[in-house]
Amino acid sequence: MKPTLTPPEPLKGSDPNSFAQSTIKERLPRMIDRIIKEEGFSIEIRSSLQKLKEDIPSSPIRFLGDYQAPDTDNWNRHIDRYLKNDWLTVPWFFAETYFYRRILEATQYFIDGESYNQDPFSMEKRRSLRQDWNKIQSVVRTLYSPGAPAEEPVNEFSKYIYTALWGNQADLSMWSSASGLQPTTEISNQSKFLLIDDCQSVYSYLSSLPAGPERIDFILDNIGLELLGDLCLADYLLERHPSLKVIFRSKAHPTFVSDAIHSDVILMIENLSSDHFPATSALGIRLQTHLYKERLILTSDDFWTSPLGAWDMPQSLLEELQQSSLVIWKGDANYRRLLGDRHWPYTTPFSDILSYAPTAFLAIRTLKANVLSGLSEDKTQSLTKIDEDWMINGKWGLIQFRGKDSWYR
């Protein structure tokens, strides 16, 4: 499973004046400072975290040493090719995923003891959820407003897709919940910021399936407002397709600060179901029912925290996804994985890069990295004139669809 196009070079921290470079040199060390300050780890663990901070960016990449972890052997195979490289000369996607895995090693996440299975981002996640709860209620109120006039089916479908899109701006690896810097785009004002909108194509594809979609997979990204949007979209699809199953594929362990793990999804559904606002609690109860009836299924795989591009996924996972009517890839890091985090010309057609896709793929993402496909040269130049940071500031979004062979654009 490889793209038919020859992939260009990967993004690296050594790319001059790049966002990748500032991420490795500045953002990652600040993240460690936040963990040391907020998460209440022991002196030993804080010392290990400080050592990790001092390793960035000039120390050589090394093997992982927490051999009790289920993914260490696989990780060390990936690491082997980059030994003796520093953090700036390895591919950026490798450096970031390796960084988050090194945090788990430093905090003894996989080792029996007082910090076993302790999420090193738990304080940040909990604070974000508290701060966003009024927004969460507002989103539910808007989507499930009683007595609202009936909409055309495609417009109703698009409304849920747009909610799932702009929720991706809630990314704690980019903006701390305490910073107040997170961008926000209202659906009512989205047309200016929506670069590619394939909602109509996705709706047409799903409507064309004789028995409707049998299974839809979500590759999850962030908790909070983004996870809410994913749950609302899943609820909408499950209510309209009685034979449908939805699979939520979360991360196997904490990574990228706010990426959802299994317990985050369960907690979100529990919080929704116990909320005092009737529409919110009704949504949570429906989701609990979907879980009980195994129409909504939660699963995870170590691949989603690996440094690999999507075209290098294990054959067993590829065959699983092949059974899906549609795979929805949420968020920026998953988009980067789809495109191999490479220097593709921005005009390269999305469907050409995704020639390896075993089924219909839908990417829903706000832009926070210099990886993109399917945009015209004129549009790229005009965006650079009005917003020089348009590729990385999270204000701009896209909904890109690559259908099965008879459907893709």
pLDDT of residue 2: 83
Instruction: Give the pLDDT score at 169.
Output: 84
At 406 the pLDDT is: 40
Asked whether 185 and 169 are in contact (CB, 8 A), the reply is yes
Question: Other C-beta atoms within 10 Å of 181: how many?
Answer: 10
pLDDT per residue rounded down to tens, the chain (409 residues): 788 999 999 999 999 999 999 999 999 999 999 999 999 999 999 999 999 999 999 999 999 999 999 999 999 999 999 998 999 999 999 999 999 999 999 999 999 999 999 999 999 999 989 999 999 999 999 999 776 667 789 999 999 999 999 999 875 655 444 555 556 666 667 888 999 999 999 999 999 999 889 999 999 999 999 999 999 999 999 999 999 999 999 999 999 999 999 999 999 999 999 999 999 999 999 999 999 999 999 999 999 999 999 999 999 999 999 999 999 999 999 999 999 999 999 999 999 999 999 999 999 999 999 999 999 999 999 999 999 999 999 999 999 999 976 443 3
Q: Provide the token pair at 78.
A: 């990936």
The architecture in CATH of the region 122-402 reads 3-Layer(aba) Sandwich (3.40)
Is the distance from CB of 166 to CB of 365 less than 8 angstroms? no
**pLDDT value for 188:** 66
d(CA 326, CA 391): 27
Model-level pTM greater than 0.85?
yes
Domain locations in the chain as residue ranges = 19-106, 122-402
76: tokens are 């060390």
Q: What DSSP assignment string belongs to 345-367? A: -TTS-HHHHGGG-SS-EEEEEE-
